[in-house]
Structure 1
Amino acid sequence: MSLRALGMVAVLGLSAGCASSGKPTALERRQAVRESMDRTYRSTEGFQAARWGMTPEEVRAALPEASVGPDGTLRMKTTIAEVPAEVALGFLDNRLAAVDVFFQDVADLRTFHAVMRDLLTRKYGEPRTRLDVARELKWQKLPTRFAADLTPVEDVAAAVTVQAMEGALSSQGRPKLISRWTTLESHVNLTQWSLLSRGVVAIQYESAKYAPRRADLVGRYSTKARQDLVKDL
Protein backbone atom coordinates (compact mmCIF):
# COMPACT_ATOMS: atom_id res chain seq x y z
CA MET A 1 0.00 0.00 0.00
CA SER A 2 1.35 3.44 -0.95
CA LEU A 3 2.27 6.08 1.61
CA ARG A 4 -0.59 8.27 0.33
CA ALA A 5 -3.11 5.47 0.83
CA LEU A 6 -1.77 4.79 4.30
CA GLY A 7 -2.17 8.50 5.10
CA MET A 8 -5.78 8.50 3.94
CA VAL A 9 -6.53 5.44 6.07
CA ALA A 10 -4.98 7.13 9.10
CA VAL A 11 -7.03 10.30 8.57
CA LEU A 12 -10.25 8.34 8.15
CA GLY A 13 -9.46 6.29 11.22
CA LEU A 14 -8.79 9.43 13.24
CA SER A 15 -12.07 11.01 12.05
CA ALA A 16 -13.98 7.88 12.92
CA GLY A 17 -12.35 7.81 16.33
CA CYS A 18 -13.36 11.41 17.00
CA ALA A 19 -16.90 10.75 15.86
CA SER A 20 -17.21 7.68 18.03
CA SER A 21 -15.55 9.25 21.06
CA GLY A 22 -18.76 11.00 22.02
CA LYS A 23 -17.12 14.45 22.20
CA PRO A 24 -19.42 17.28 21.00
CA THR A 25 -18.57 18.98 17.74
CA ALA A 26 -17.88 22.71 17.48
CA LEU A 27 -21.40 23.22 16.11
CA GLU A 28 -22.91 21.32 19.01
CA ARG A 29 -20.86 23.31 21.50
CA ARG A 30 -22.03 26.61 19.97
CA GLN A 31 -25.63 25.41 20.06
CA ALA A 32 -25.28 24.43 23.72
CA VAL A 33 -23.89 27.88 24.54
CA ARG A 34 -26.79 29.59 22.74
CA GLU A 35 -29.34 27.44 24.57
CA SER A 36 -27.68 28.21 27.89
CA MET A 37 -27.74 31.96 27.13
CA ASP A 38 -31.41 31.74 26.13
CA ARG A 39 -32.28 30.10 29.44
CA THR A 40 -30.54 32.81 31.44
CA TYR A 41 -31.56 35.77 29.25
CA ARG A 42 -33.37 38.52 31.12
CA SER A 43 -33.68 41.88 29.41
CA THR A 44 -33.37 45.27 31.09
CA GLU A 45 -36.63 46.20 29.32
CA GLY A 46 -40.17 44.86 29.21
CA PHE A 47 -43.40 46.06 30.84
CA GLN A 48 -43.39 47.58 34.32
CA ALA A 49 -41.54 45.13 36.60
CA ALA A 50 -41.69 42.26 34.08
CA ARG A 51 -38.71 41.74 31.79
CA TRP A 52 -38.29 40.02 28.44
CA GLY A 53 -37.16 36.44 28.94
CA MET A 54 -38.93 35.94 32.28
CA THR A 55 -40.88 32.72 32.81
CA PRO A 56 -44.63 32.88 33.59
CA GLU A 57 -43.83 32.20 37.24
CA GLU A 58 -41.33 35.06 37.35
CA VAL A 59 -43.79 37.43 35.66
CA ARG A 60 -46.55 36.56 38.12
CA ALA A 61 -44.14 37.24 40.98
CA ALA A 62 -43.24 40.60 39.42
CA LEU A 63 -46.88 41.43 38.61
CA PRO A 64 -48.97 39.79 41.38
CA GLU A 65 -52.21 41.23 39.95
CA ALA A 66 -51.82 39.19 36.74
CA SER A 67 -53.94 36.04 36.40
CA VAL A 68 -54.86 33.55 33.70
CA GLY A 69 -57.83 34.69 31.60
CA PRO A 70 -60.59 32.55 30.03
CA ASP A 71 -58.48 32.04 26.92
CA GLY A 72 -55.46 30.78 28.85
CA THR A 73 -53.51 34.03 28.40
CA LEU A 74 -51.92 35.78 31.38
CA ARG A 75 -53.83 39.04 31.81
CA MET A 76 -54.22 41.91 34.26
CA LYS A 77 -56.16 45.13 34.75
CA THR A 78 -54.42 48.31 35.78
CA THR A 79 -54.51 52.09 35.40
CA ILE A 80 -52.02 53.98 33.24
CA ALA A 81 -52.01 57.78 32.97
CA GLU A 82 -55.26 57.73 35.00
CA VAL A 83 -57.01 55.63 32.31
CA PRO A 84 -58.18 52.02 32.90
CA ALA A 85 -56.18 49.49 30.88
CA GLU A 86 -56.32 45.78 30.12
CA VAL A 87 -53.00 44.00 29.68
CA ALA A 88 -52.21 40.73 27.91
CA LEU A 89 -48.80 39.07 28.35
CA GLY A 90 -47.56 36.65 25.69
CA PHE A 91 -44.92 33.93 26.10
CA LEU A 92 -42.78 32.17 23.52
CA ASP A 93 -41.31 28.88 24.78
CA ASN A 94 -42.26 29.97 28.32
CA ARG A 95 -40.38 33.27 28.00
CA LEU A 96 -42.05 36.69 28.08
CA ALA A 97 -41.96 37.91 24.47
CA ALA A 98 -44.77 40.43 24.02
CA VAL A 99 -47.21 42.62 25.96
CA ASP A 100 -50.34 44.42 24.75
CA VAL A 101 -51.99 47.24 26.70
CA PHE A 102 -55.54 48.16 25.63
CA PHE A 103 -57.34 51.39 26.54
CA GLN A 104 -61.08 51.26 25.83
CA ASP A 105 -62.34 54.28 27.77
CA VAL A 106 -60.48 57.20 26.21
CA ALA A 107 -62.60 60.35 26.09
CA ASP A 108 -60.19 62.58 24.13
CA LEU A 109 -58.20 60.43 21.70
CA ARG A 110 -56.01 63.22 20.35
CA THR A 111 -54.90 64.37 23.80
CA PHE A 112 -54.36 60.80 24.94
CA HIS A 113 -52.21 60.06 21.88
CA ALA A 114 -50.07 63.12 22.72
CA VAL A 115 -49.67 62.06 26.36
CA MET A 116 -48.74 58.47 25.46
CA ARG A 117 -46.34 59.64 22.77
CA ASP A 118 -44.59 61.92 25.27
CA LEU A 119 -44.35 59.23 27.96
CA LEU A 120 -43.04 56.58 25.56
CA THR A 121 -40.52 59.04 24.11
CA ARG A 122 -39.23 59.76 27.61
CA LYS A 123 -38.70 56.02 28.10
CA TYR A 124 -37.50 54.85 24.67
CA GLY A 125 -36.18 57.98 23.00
CA GLU A 126 -37.39 59.60 19.81
CA PRO A 127 -39.87 57.52 17.77
CA ARG A 128 -39.21 56.35 14.23
CA THR A 129 -39.78 59.00 11.59
CA ARG A 130 -43.03 59.00 9.65
CA LEU A 131 -41.07 58.16 6.49
CA ASP A 132 -39.43 55.12 8.09
CA VAL A 133 -42.77 53.87 9.44
CA ALA A 134 -44.49 54.43 6.09
CA ARG A 135 -41.73 52.48 4.34
CA GLU A 136 -42.00 49.56 6.78
CA LEU A 137 -45.78 49.50 6.41
CA LYS A 138 -45.47 49.54 2.62
CA TRP A 139 -43.13 46.54 2.67
CA GLN A 140 -45.32 44.80 5.27
CA LYS A 141 -42.54 44.68 7.84
CA LEU A 142 -44.94 45.70 10.62
CA PRO A 143 -47.45 42.85 10.88
CA THR A 144 -50.53 43.17 13.07
CA ARG A 145 -50.17 40.57 15.81
CA PHE A 146 -51.12 40.23 19.44
CA ALA A 147 -49.37 38.99 22.56
CA ALA A 148 -52.31 36.59 23.00
CA ASP A 149 -51.42 34.99 19.65
CA LEU A 150 -48.66 33.16 21.46
CA THR A 151 -49.09 29.87 23.28
CA PRO A 152 -51.38 30.21 26.34
CA VAL A 153 -49.77 29.71 29.73
CA GLU A 154 -52.63 27.30 30.49
CA ASP A 155 -54.51 25.03 28.09
CA VAL A 156 -58.17 25.98 27.85
CA ALA A 157 -60.47 23.85 25.71
CA ALA A 158 -62.55 26.83 24.58
CA ALA A 159 -59.64 29.22 24.15
CA VAL A 160 -60.21 29.74 20.43
CA THR A 161 -63.89 30.55 20.82
CA VAL A 162 -63.56 32.91 23.78
CA GLN A 163 -64.45 36.47 22.71
CA ALA A 164 -61.46 38.45 23.94
CA MET A 165 -60.45 41.98 22.98
CA GLU A 166 -58.03 40.60 20.40
CA GLY A 167 -60.82 38.68 18.70
CA ALA A 168 -62.93 41.80 18.29
CA LEU A 169 -60.02 43.84 16.97
CA SER A 170 -58.85 41.21 14.48
CA SER A 171 -62.34 40.58 13.09
CA GLN A 172 -63.85 44.07 13.21
CA GLY A 173 -61.15 46.63 13.87
CA ARG A 174 -59.20 48.83 11.50
CA PRO A 175 -55.73 49.59 12.89
CA LYS A 176 -53.75 52.79 12.41
CA LEU A 177 -50.16 53.01 13.59
CA ILE A 178 -49.67 56.33 15.39
CA SER A 179 -46.00 56.05 16.45
CA ARG A 180 -43.29 53.42 16.71
CA TRP A 181 -40.17 53.09 18.87
CA THR A 182 -37.31 50.62 18.54
CA THR A 183 -34.38 49.91 20.85
CA LEU A 184 -31.88 47.07 21.01
CA GLU A 185 -34.27 45.25 23.37
CA SER A 186 -37.79 46.35 22.44
CA HIS A 187 -40.18 47.26 19.62
CA VAL A 188 -43.10 49.44 20.71
CA ASN A 189 -46.15 50.48 18.67
CA LEU A 190 -48.79 53.04 19.63
CA THR A 191 -51.87 52.00 17.66
CA GLN A 192 -55.42 53.28 17.25
CA TRP A 193 -58.08 50.66 16.46
CA SER A 194 -61.41 51.81 15.05
CA LEU A 195 -64.41 49.63 15.88
CA LEU A 196 -68.01 50.26 14.83
CA SER A 197 -69.04 51.62 18.22
CA ARG A 198 -65.78 52.97 19.68
CA GLY A 199 -62.06 53.42 19.35
CA VAL A 200 -59.43 51.42 21.21
CA VAL A 201 -55.89 52.64 21.81
CA ALA A 202 -53.21 49.98 22.19
CA ILE A 203 -49.57 50.05 23.20
CA GLN A 204 -47.98 46.88 21.84
CA TYR A 205 -44.59 45.93 23.25
CA GLU A 206 -42.45 43.22 21.68
CA SER A 207 -39.07 41.76 22.59
CA ALA A 208 -36.54 42.50 19.84
CA LYS A 209 -34.82 39.19 20.61
CA TYR A 210 -37.94 37.09 20.05
CA ALA A 211 -39.52 39.13 17.25
CA PRO A 212 -37.91 37.18 14.36
CA ARG A 213 -39.20 33.88 15.78
CA ARG A 214 -42.74 35.27 15.90
CA ALA A 215 -42.72 36.13 12.21
CA ASP A 216 -43.73 32.64 11.06
CA LEU A 217 -46.21 31.96 13.88
CA VAL A 218 -49.94 32.01 13.22
CA GLY A 219 -51.78 32.96 16.38
CA ARG A 220 -55.29 32.29 17.60
CA TYR A 221 -56.43 35.85 16.90
CA SER A 222 -54.69 36.46 13.58
CA THR A 223 -56.71 37.06 10.41
CA LYS A 224 -55.24 33.95 8.76
CA ALA A 225 -56.15 31.78 11.74
CA ARG A 226 -59.76 32.95 11.56
CA GLN A 227 -59.87 32.38 7.82
CA ASP A 228 -58.75 28.80 8.45
CA LEU A 229 -61.51 28.34 11.02
CA VAL A 230 -64.11 29.41 8.46
CA LYS A 231 -63.28 26.26 6.50
CA ASP A 232 -64.84 24.23 9.31
CA LEU A 233 -68.23 25.89 8.86
Structure 2
Amino acid sequence: MKFKALGLSVVLGLSAGCASGKPTALERRQAVRDSLDKTYRSTEGFQTVRWGMTPEEVRAALPEASVAPDGTLRLKTTIAELPAEVALGFLDNRLAAVDVFFQEVAEPRTFQTLMRDLLTRKFGEPKTAREVKRQVKWGDVPVRFAADLAPLQEADGTASAATLESALAGQGQFKVLNRWTTPESHVNLTQWTLPARGIMAIQYESAKYAPKREGLIGRYTAKARQELVKEL
Protein backbone atom coordinates (compact mmCIF):
# COMPACT_ATOMS: atom_id res chain seq x y z
CA MET A 1 0.00 0.00 0.00
CA LYS A 2 2.83 2.37 0.82
CA PHE A 3 4.34 1.82 -2.63
CA LYS A 4 0.97 2.46 -4.26
CA ALA A 5 0.53 5.66 -2.28
CA LEU A 6 4.01 6.80 -3.23
CA GLY A 7 3.34 6.14 -6.92
CA LEU A 8 0.05 8.02 -6.72
CA SER A 9 1.70 11.00 -5.07
CA VAL A 10 4.33 11.15 -7.83
CA VAL A 11 1.63 11.07 -10.50
CA LEU A 12 -0.39 13.72 -8.69
CA GLY A 13 2.74 15.84 -8.28
CA LEU A 14 3.46 15.68 -12.01
CA SER A 15 -0.16 16.45 -12.81
CA ALA A 16 -0.13 19.39 -10.45
CA GLY A 17 3.00 20.73 -12.09
CA CYS A 18 1.40 20.52 -15.52
CA ALA A 19 -1.87 22.03 -14.29
CA SER A 20 -0.14 24.97 -12.62
CA GLY A 21 1.78 25.81 -15.78
CA LYS A 22 5.09 25.43 -13.97
CA PRO A 23 7.68 22.97 -15.39
CA THR A 24 7.94 19.68 -13.56
CA ALA A 25 11.23 18.30 -12.21
CA LEU A 26 11.46 15.98 -15.23
CA GLU A 27 10.87 18.87 -17.61
CA ARG A 28 13.49 20.97 -15.85
CA ARG A 29 16.05 18.17 -16.07
CA GLN A 30 15.26 17.67 -19.75
CA ALA A 31 15.67 21.41 -20.36
CA VAL A 32 19.10 21.31 -18.71
CA ARG A 33 20.13 18.32 -20.85
CA ASP A 34 18.91 20.05 -24.01
CA SER A 35 20.89 23.15 -23.10
CA LEU A 36 24.04 21.13 -22.45
CA ASP A 37 23.60 19.29 -25.76
CA LYS A 38 23.53 22.58 -27.64
CA THR A 39 26.78 23.76 -26.08
CA TYR A 40 28.54 20.37 -26.06
CA ARG A 41 31.88 20.33 -27.85
CA SER A 42 34.15 17.37 -27.22
CA THR A 43 37.90 17.56 -26.76
CA GLU A 44 38.16 14.73 -29.34
CA GLY A 45 37.15 14.14 -32.92
CA PHE A 46 38.92 14.08 -36.29
CA GLN A 47 41.77 16.46 -37.10
CA THR A 48 40.53 19.97 -36.21
CA VAL A 49 36.84 19.12 -35.83
CA ARG A 50 35.22 17.99 -32.60
CA TRP A 51 32.16 15.96 -31.68
CA GLY A 52 29.15 18.21 -31.24
CA MET A 53 30.16 20.78 -33.86
CA THR A 54 27.46 22.00 -36.22
CA PRO A 55 27.82 21.52 -40.00
CA GLU A 56 28.70 25.20 -40.30
CA GLU A 57 31.45 24.90 -37.71
CA VAL A 58 32.85 21.79 -39.39
CA ARG A 59 32.92 23.44 -42.81
CA ALA A 60 34.68 26.46 -41.33
CA ALA A 61 37.31 24.17 -39.78
CA LEU A 62 37.60 22.01 -42.92
CA PRO A 63 36.97 24.42 -45.81
CA GLU A 64 37.90 21.74 -48.35
CA ALA A 65 34.86 19.67 -47.30
CA SER A 66 31.75 19.93 -49.46
CA VAL A 67 28.33 18.35 -49.78
CA ALA A 68 28.59 15.34 -52.12
CA PRO A 69 25.87 14.17 -54.54
CA ASP A 70 24.64 11.70 -51.91
CA GLY A 71 23.89 14.64 -49.61
CA THR A 72 26.67 13.95 -47.09
CA LEU A 73 29.64 16.13 -46.19
CA ARG A 74 32.83 14.70 -47.69
CA LEU A 75 36.39 15.63 -48.51
CA LYS A 76 39.35 14.09 -50.26
CA THR A 77 42.72 14.49 -48.62
CA THR A 78 46.07 12.81 -48.03
CA ILE A 79 46.88 11.02 -44.77
CA ALA A 80 50.17 9.25 -44.13
CA GLU A 81 51.08 9.94 -47.77
CA LEU A 82 48.04 7.99 -49.00
CA PRO A 83 44.91 9.37 -50.68
CA ALA A 84 41.88 9.20 -48.40
CA GLU A 85 38.17 9.89 -48.70
CA VAL A 86 36.50 11.27 -45.58
CA ALA A 87 32.77 11.16 -44.82
CA LEU A 88 31.41 13.21 -41.92
CA GLY A 89 28.08 12.29 -40.33
CA PHE A 90 25.75 14.50 -38.27
CA LEU A 91 23.06 13.55 -35.78
CA ASP A 92 20.58 16.33 -35.02
CA ASN A 93 22.98 18.74 -36.76
CA ARG A 94 25.89 17.71 -34.50
CA LEU A 95 29.04 15.95 -35.67
CA ALA A 96 28.66 12.35 -34.50
CA ALA A 97 30.81 10.15 -36.75
CA VAL A 98 33.66 10.26 -39.26
CA ASP A 99 34.82 7.57 -41.67
CA VAL A 100 38.22 7.69 -43.41
CA PHE A 101 38.60 5.29 -46.34
CA PHE A 102 41.94 4.31 -47.90
CA GLN A 103 41.47 2.61 -51.27
CA GLU A 104 45.11 2.46 -52.39
CA VAL A 105 46.94 0.55 -49.65
CA ALA A 106 49.65 -1.59 -51.24
CA GLU A 107 50.88 -3.13 -47.96
CA PRO A 108 48.00 -3.58 -45.50
CA ARG A 109 50.15 -4.98 -42.67
CA THR A 110 52.60 -2.08 -42.82
CA PHE A 111 49.66 0.32 -42.96
CA GLN A 112 48.03 -1.33 -39.95
CA THR A 113 51.23 -1.08 -37.92
CA LEU A 114 51.59 2.61 -38.74
CA MET A 115 47.94 3.45 -38.01
CA ARG A 116 47.98 1.46 -34.79
CA ASP A 117 50.99 3.45 -33.59
CA LEU A 118 49.50 6.83 -34.57
CA LEU A 119 46.06 6.13 -33.12
CA THR A 120 47.59 4.78 -29.91
CA ARG A 121 49.47 8.05 -29.52
CA LYS A 122 46.15 9.90 -29.79
CA PHE A 123 43.69 7.61 -27.99
CA GLY A 124 45.85 5.44 -25.73
CA GLU A 125 46.31 1.68 -25.80
CA PRO A 126 43.86 -0.25 -28.01
CA LYS A 127 41.71 -3.15 -26.90
CA THR A 128 43.46 -6.51 -26.97
CA ALA A 129 42.83 -8.83 -29.91
CA ARG A 130 40.85 -11.14 -27.61
CA GLU A 131 38.67 -8.27 -26.39
CA VAL A 132 37.97 -7.10 -29.94
CA LYS A 133 37.10 -10.61 -31.10
CA ARG A 134 34.74 -11.09 -28.16
CA GLN A 135 33.06 -7.71 -28.68
CA VAL A 136 32.54 -8.36 -32.40
CA LYS A 137 31.07 -11.80 -31.63
CA TRP A 138 28.65 -10.32 -29.09
CA GLY A 139 27.67 -7.49 -31.44
CA ASP A 140 29.20 -4.79 -29.25
CA VAL A 141 31.10 -3.35 -32.22
CA PRO A 142 28.37 -2.19 -34.60
CA VAL A 143 29.24 -1.95 -38.27
CA ARG A 144 27.78 1.33 -39.46
CA PHE A 145 28.83 4.29 -41.52
CA ALA A 146 28.90 8.03 -40.94
CA ALA A 147 26.89 8.28 -44.17
CA ASP A 148 24.07 6.34 -42.46
CA LEU A 149 23.21 9.53 -40.61
CA ALA A 150 20.84 12.10 -42.08
CA PRO A 151 22.28 13.84 -45.16
CA LEU A 152 22.75 17.59 -45.06
CA GLN A 153 20.64 18.04 -48.16
CA GLU A 154 18.45 16.00 -50.48
CA ALA A 155 20.51 13.37 -52.26
CA ASP A 156 20.74 12.55 -55.92
CA GLY A 157 19.31 9.01 -55.99
CA THR A 158 21.59 7.86 -58.80
CA ALA A 159 24.71 9.20 -57.12
CA SER A 160 23.87 7.90 -53.65
CA ALA A 161 23.37 4.38 -55.02
CA ALA A 162 26.97 4.35 -56.26
CA THR A 163 28.73 5.36 -53.02
CA LEU A 164 31.57 3.38 -51.51
CA GLU A 165 29.45 2.67 -48.43
CA SER A 166 26.77 1.09 -50.61
CA ALA A 167 29.35 -1.27 -52.14
CA LEU A 168 30.76 -2.18 -48.73
CA ALA A 169 27.34 -2.78 -47.19
CA GLY A 170 26.19 -4.87 -50.15
CA GLN A 171 29.30 -6.88 -51.04
CA GLY A 172 31.99 -6.19 -48.48
CA GLN A 173 33.28 -8.34 -45.66
CA PHE A 174 35.03 -6.71 -42.74
CA LYS A 175 37.51 -7.41 -39.99
CA VAL A 176 38.08 -5.08 -37.05
CA LEU A 177 41.86 -5.03 -36.69
CA ASN A 178 42.14 -2.68 -33.73
CA ARG A 179 39.70 -0.79 -31.52
CA TRP A 180 40.12 2.16 -29.17
CA THR A 181 37.58 3.50 -26.70
CA THR A 182 37.76 6.63 -24.56
CA PRO A 183 35.03 8.49 -22.63
CA GLU A 184 34.62 10.64 -25.76
CA SER A 185 35.33 8.39 -28.76
CA HIS A 186 35.04 4.89 -30.23
CA VAL A 187 37.57 4.22 -33.02
CA ASN A 188 37.90 1.14 -35.22
CA LEU A 189 40.70 0.34 -37.64
CA THR A 190 38.88 -1.89 -40.12
CA GLN A 191 39.90 -3.93 -43.13
CA TRP A 192 37.17 -4.32 -45.76
CA THR A 193 37.30 -6.88 -48.56
CA LEU A 194 35.36 -6.45 -51.81
CA PRO A 195 35.32 -9.04 -54.62
CA ALA A 196 38.00 -7.20 -56.60
CA ARG A 197 39.88 -5.13 -54.01
CA GLY A 198 40.57 -4.36 -50.39
CA ILE A 199 39.95 -1.15 -48.46
CA MET A 200 41.31 0.03 -45.14
CA ALA A 201 39.22 2.35 -43.00
CA ILE A 202 39.39 4.29 -39.75
CA GLN A 203 35.90 4.73 -38.38
CA TYR A 204 35.45 7.29 -35.61
CA GLU A 205 32.29 7.64 -33.53
CA SER A 206 31.28 9.98 -30.73
CA ALA A 207 30.72 8.03 -27.51
CA LYS A 208 28.04 10.56 -26.50
CA TYR A 209 25.96 10.07 -29.64
CA ALA A 210 26.57 6.33 -30.12
CA PRO A 211 23.50 5.21 -28.10
CA LYS A 212 21.24 7.43 -30.23
CA ARG A 213 22.44 5.63 -33.36
CA GLU A 214 21.48 2.14 -32.17
CA GLY A 215 17.87 2.36 -33.29
CA LEU A 216 18.57 4.44 -36.36
CA ILE A 217 17.72 2.97 -39.74
CA GLY A 218 20.44 4.37 -41.97
CA ARG A 219 20.74 3.98 -45.71
CA TYR A 220 23.52 1.39 -45.47
CA THR A 221 22.62 -0.56 -42.32
CA ALA A 222 21.46 -4.17 -42.22
CA LYS A 223 18.21 -2.96 -40.67
CA ALA A 224 17.59 -0.68 -43.63
CA ARG A 225 18.11 -3.53 -46.05
CA GLN A 226 15.75 -5.73 -44.07
CA GLU A 227 13.12 -3.02 -44.41
CA LEU A 228 13.67 -2.99 -48.16
CA VAL A 229 13.12 -6.75 -48.33
CA LYS A 230 9.53 -6.13 -47.24
CA GLU A 231 8.97 -4.22 -50.46
CA LEU A 232 9.84 -7.25 -52.63
TM value normalised by structure 1: 0.89
- Change in Cα spacing, 1:18 to 1:43, as seen in structure 2 (3 Å) is closer
Cα separation, 1, equivalents of 2:158 and 2:204: 23
Kindly, what percent of the aligned residue pairs are identical?
A: 69
Residues 128-167 of structure 1 correspond to what in structure 2 (within 5 A)?
Answer: 128-158=127-157, 161-167=160-166
Cα separation, 1, equivalents of 2:59 and 2:52: 13
Q: Which residue of 1 aligns with 2:211?
A: 212
Q: Which residue of 1 aligns with 2:8?
A: none
Q: Which residue of 2 aligns with 1:113?
A: 112
Q: Which residue of 1 aligns with 2:220?
A: 221
Cα separation, 2, equivalents of 1:93 and 1:228: 23
Q: Which residue of 2 aligns with 1:10?
A: none
How far apart are residue 196 of structure 1 and its match?
A: 1.2
How far apart are residue 228 of structure 1 and its match?
A: 2.9
How far apart are residue 26 of structure 1 and its match?
A: 1.0
How far apart are residue 227 of structure 1 and its match?
A: 3.7
Gaps of 5+ in 1: 1-13
Cα separation, 1, equivalents of 2:140 and 2:219: 20
* Structure possessing the higher radius of gyration over alpha carbons: 1
TM value normalised by structure 2: 0.90
How far apart are residue 224 of structure 1 and its match?
A: 2.9
Q: Counterpart of 1:212 in structure 2: which amino acid? A: P
Q: Counterpart of 2:70 in structure 1: which amino acid? A: D
- Change in Cα spacing, 1:39 to 1:16, as seen in structure 2 (3 Å) is closer
Cα separation, 2, equivalents of 1:104 and 1:16: 58
Cα separation, 1, equivalents of 2:51 and 2:158: 24
Residue 117 of structure 2 aligns to a residue whose secondary structure is: helix
Q: Contact (CA 8 Å) 2:174, 2:192: kept in 1 or not?
A: yes
Cα separation, 1, equivalents of 2:212 and 2:202: 21
| Number of equivalences | 221
Cα separation, 1, equivalents of 2:215 and 2:228: 18
